[in-house]
């Protein structure tokens, strides 16, 4: 799953929260087919998509979720 954020600060917050929670993820450049202001996104293992979404909600981090192509 590809997760997009409003800005780099939100990517950093999401990365830190996911790391503390032990969720598998990677910070990567946003794929060309997506448009974003920030240029960075998180890739999250599909098996951890729901826990990741719950974590973002619990931390007040707004994100947009996309299936990997």
- Which residue shows structure tokens 């994100």? 63
Structure tokens given for 15: 């990365």
**Predicted pLDDT at 34:** 82
Q: What is the pLDDT of residue 49?
A: 95
CATH of the domain at 19: 3.30.70
Read off the pLDDT of residues 3-12 as tens digits, 9 standing for 90 and up: 999 898 999 9
The boundaries of the domain holding residue 20 are: 2-66
Predicted confidence at residue 36, as pLDDT, reads 53
For residues 25-54, average pLDDT? 88
Residues for the chain: how many in total?
69
Split into its structural domains, the chain has a count of 1
> Residue 66 — left, alpha, or beta (φ > 0 → left; ψ -120 to 50 → alpha)?
beta
């Amino acid at each position: 799953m590809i997760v997009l954020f409003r800005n780099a600060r939100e990517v950093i917050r999401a990365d830190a929260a996911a790391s503390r929670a032990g969720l598998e993820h990677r910070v990567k450049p946003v794929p060309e087919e997506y448009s974003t202001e920030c240029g960075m996104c998180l890739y999250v293992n599909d098996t951890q998509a729901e826990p990741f979404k719950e974590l973002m909600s619990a931390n007040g981090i707004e994100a947009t979720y996309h299936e990997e192509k």
